[in-house]
Amino acid sequence: MKKHLLATTLITMLALTGCANREVVTYGDATEVETVDIGFGSTDLQKVAAEMTDSLLVSPAMSEFSKNGRPIFFVERIKNKTSEHIDTESITDSISTKLLRSGSVRFVDMTRVEAAREQLTYQQDGGLVDTNSAIAFGQHVGAEYMLYGNLSSIVKFNKDKQDVYYKFTMRLMDLKTGLVEWADETEIRKNREKKRIGW
């Protein structure tokens, strides 16, 4: 009786396992339009980064800066003024990477200042680095311009429809004069509507 019960249990478990749902993982196109939900997504990030980068690179201000070589930028992290949790560091990274790839600008990476300071202190004060190869303090090049921006949103909804409007604004400030030399913005509108099926 016990053997029969054990065999029946094993057969049932195998049958259930065979009928279970299986997850399949596949690669997708990173540039494909993403419409999983109405929130800020990868397509929005790519749109914002591309439009802002293109706008800055063709601006009269950039033509003027480039006369004396490649200007040095400092990029401040984009401020998230929406009600969503958005990784604005990814937006900042995409914009700075696209600008750097263009060969038109250079960057001071303010996110790594403390790590650089620790390395220079180690080289100067650690007693382990040959003084002829140690890099002295005070040789870093200062940024000439600061690139900064904001991402904001307006959300409207009722029982049948939800509408989200995003506005992304960027500015470039001359750190010597405090003048804003370039500014632009781009907009995104997304909506979700319940569709009634049948009568």
The CATH code of the domain that includes 45 is 3.40.50
Residues 47 and 184: their CA atoms lie apart, in Å, by: 14
- Dihedral angle computed from the Cα positions of residues 31, 167, 159 and 37, in that order, rounded to the nearest 10 degrees: 20
**pLDDT score of 20 more than 90:** no
**Is 33 domain-assigned?**
no
99 with 53: CB under 8 angstroms? yes
Give the chain's domain count.
1
Spatial neighbors of 62 by CB under 8 A, at least 6 apart, are 56, 71, 104, 182
Say what percent of the chain tops pLDDT 90. 38
Residue 170 lies in a domain: yes
In a domain, 159, yes or no: yes
Within a 10 A sphere around the Cβ of 128, how many other Cβ atoms? 8
Q: pLDDT by residue (tens digit) across 58-95?
A: 999 999 888 888 999 999 989 999 988 988 888 999 99
Question: The domain containing residue 59 runs over which residues?
Answer: 38-193
Distance spanning both ends of the chain, measured CA to CA: 57
Residue 4 in any domain: the answer is no
